[in-house]
Amino acid sequence: MRTQVVIVGGGPSGLLLGQLLHKKGIETVVLERKTKEYVLGRIRAGILETGFVNLMREAGVAERMDRECFIHRGTTISYENEMFDIDFQKLVGQSVIVYGQTEVTRDLYDAREATGGKIIYEVDNVQICGADSDAPYVTFTADGSSQRIDCDFVAGCDGFHGVSRKTIPDDVRKEYEKVYPFGWLGVLSETPPVHDELIYSNSSRGFALCSMRNENLSRYYIQCTVADHVEDWSDEAFWEELKRRVPESVADKLVTGPSIEKSIAPLRSFVSEPMRWGRLFLCGDAAHIVPPTGAKGLNTAASDVHYLFEGLVQYYEDKDSNGIDTYSQKALARIWKAERFSWATTNMLHRFPNQSDFDLKMQRAEIESLHYNEAAQAWFALNYVGLPY
Ligand code: RFL
Ligand code: PHB
């Protein structure tokens, strides 16, 4: 089999890239390790930047998103019983939207199926070969047989645990990593959200986040230890702990109910450089991870997709390789800023083991600076709504 671009990974990065390229008449094959149902079962991101929204529109897959999403003009931060709003619209003239990653992925799968784009599910033993030559190819097993696809380029969109990044030789690749000594325990419940904006809460018992998907679907998170297991947390224990970590006025309003999903995510900052090796390009979680505190993971994946899409179109339409040659540099410049923001918000809002009294005072001073200083709020807002591409 032959195609122009093999996309390894059928998560949001791979599917969005595939759809954008399809609109330009560039042929792709997507290889996905799991089933479609499995990918759609993962509950992840909720907040999308304008850049992401624009890419969905450009790909022609924004109709349901534009109809069903919720616009968020700002966000709320709390510390103990204090609460304040950061009004993005007023400060930087932009908003974000709430539209779940599950829905984004569903829309992208529907579009790919409607346009007859090829996706091969449940692939195994994916190997990217000849990426440093002019004739790359990908081998894998599917339906019990070994297969090979020859191509011009390979897009490695296979997430943090994929094979693409590891295809880049050790002496070329440099990885930067910070693992945090805690995780997030998340619950999805069919209850009305407790507040009209998201609440990011710093409390002496640890971080909490009140988020949502729609008027009757709430998403809550609490900081937990790395040793915690989902089975150790009954719904009742989760709600009790959440109530202790938000201001009393919020706890009093909280509507609880059975969880329909409960999971623990570890927190990590990670960047792998470079994001290109020959004809292989890394995109999204395959190249970088942020802790979810800044809501940047899927949004940085989207900026990679944007730069790679532009580069590939320039290559095919204008026979100009400048875009793909500068891909890694452009993508990384934006990613490091999102890494910094995610790391800084994580530091500001979580409790760390062995935090000294001095460390706690510093954290408090940082939150108060944000509370009472409009310039600090504008800086936060600029990063939260997303830096320009
Ligand atoms: P994904 O989603 O991991 O998809 C990769 C796909 O590749 C497949 N795969 C392979 N396929 C073929 N061969 C192989 N060898 C393969 N190995 C893996 C996998 O099965 C999968 O389908 O990566 P992608 O597409 O780069 O998308 C990244 C986003 O999923 C991720 O950054 C976000 O979910 C992060 N994130 C958030 N991002 C935001 O922008 N805003 C948020 O509000 C936000 N909240 C979150 C989050 C992530 C969370 N967790 C669980 C880590 C909240 C949480 C709790
Ligand atoms: C979510 O709704 O899942 C969510 C929202 C904001 C974040 C992280 C996760 O920062």
Q: What is the pLDDT along the chain (389 residues), one digit of tens a residue?
A: 999 999 999 999 999 999 999 999 999 999 999 999 999 988 888 899 999 999 999 999 999 999 999 999 999 999 989 999 999 999 999 999 999 999 999 999 999 999 999 999 999 999 999 999 999 999 999 999 999 999 999 999 999 999 999 999 999 999 999 999 999 999 999 999 999 999 999 999 999 999 999 999 999 999 999 999 999 999 999 999 999 999 999 999 999 999 999 999 999 999 999 999 999 999 999 999 999 999 999 999 999 999 999 999 999 999 999 999 999 999 999 999 999 999 999 999 999 999 999 999 999 999 999 999 999 999 999 999 999 99
Same domain, 282 and 331: yes
Same domain, 52 and 101: yes
DSSP for 321-353 reads -HHHHSHHHHHHHHHHHHHHHHHHHHHHHS--T
Our mutation pick for probing the ligand 1 site, out of 6, 158, 182, 271, counting the most ligand atoms within 8 A of Cβ, is 158
How far is CA 174 from each of CA 160, 165, 275, 340, rounded to the nearest angstrom?
Answer: 15, 11, 10, 18
Same domain, 333 and 355: no
- Tell me the residue range of the domain where 277 lies: 5-72+95-177+268-345
Same domain, 244 and 298: no
- Ligand 2 neighbour 211 (Cβ under 6 A): yes
Report pLDDT for 69. Answer: 95
Q: Rounded to an integer, what distance in angstroms lies between the CA atom of residue 382 and that of residue 389?
A: 13
Question: Is 192 labeled as catalytic in the residue annotation?
Answer: no
243's enclosing H/E stretch is: helix 235-244
Q: Rounded to an integer, what distance in angstroms lies between the CA atom of residue 62 and that of residue 54?
A: 8
Same domain, 56 and 138: yes
Can you give the pTM of this predicted structure? 0.96
Token duo for residue 247:
């201001």
204 within a domain of the structure (yes/no): yes
Same domain, 46 and 161: yes
- Ligand 2 neighbour 218 (Cβ under 6 A): no
Q: Rounded to an integer, what distance in angstroms lies between the CA atom of residue 279 and that of residue 130?
A: 8
Q: Cα-flanking dihedrals φ and ψ of residue 139, to 5°?
A: -115, 150
Same domain, 113 and 256: no
Same domain, 170 and 189: no
Same domain, 65 and 131: yes
Report pLDDT for 44. Answer: 85
Token duo for residue 315:
């290559």
Whether the Cβ atoms of residue 220 and residue 211 lie closer than 8 Å to each other? yes
Same domain, 297 and 151: yes
Query: What is the tally of structural domains in the chain?
Result: 2
Same domain, 38 and 117: yes
Q: What CATH number should be reported for the domain holding residue 39?
A: 3.50.50.60
- Ligand 1 neighbour 291 (Cβ under 6 A): no
Same domain, 128 and 253: no
78 within a domain of the structure (yes/no): no
Three-state DSSP at 282 gives: strand
Q: Rounded to an integer, what distance in angstroms lies between the CA atom of residue 138 and that of residue 341?
A: 36
77 within a domain of the structure (yes/no): no
Three-state DSSP at 150 gives: strand
Question: Is 307 labeled as catalytic in the residue annotation?
Answer: no
217 within a domain of the structure (yes/no): yes
Residues counted in the chain: 389
Q: Rounded to an integer, what distance in angstroms lies between the CA atom of residue 308 and that of residue 327?
A: 6
How far is CA 318 from each of CA 175, 308, 341, rounded to the nearest angstrom?
Answer: 34, 15, 36
Measured in Å, residue 384 CA sits from the centre of ligand 1 at 19
89 within a domain of the structure (yes/no): no
Report pLDDT for 43. Answer: 80
Question: Is 200 labeled as catalytic in the residue annotation?
Answer: yes
79 within a domain of the structure (yes/no): no
87 within a domain of the structure (yes/no): no
Q: How many CA atoms lie within 13 A of 191 on its CB side?
A: 21
From 33, 83, 283, select the one nearest 196 (Cα to Cα): 83
Q: What CATH number should be reported for the domain holding residue 224?
A: 3.30.9.10
Q: Rounded to an integer, what distance in angstroms lies between the CA atom of residue 307 and that of residue 177?
A: 24
Report pLDDT for 41. Answer: 85
80 within a domain of the structure (yes/no): no
Question: Is 220 labeled as catalytic in the residue annotation?
Answer: no
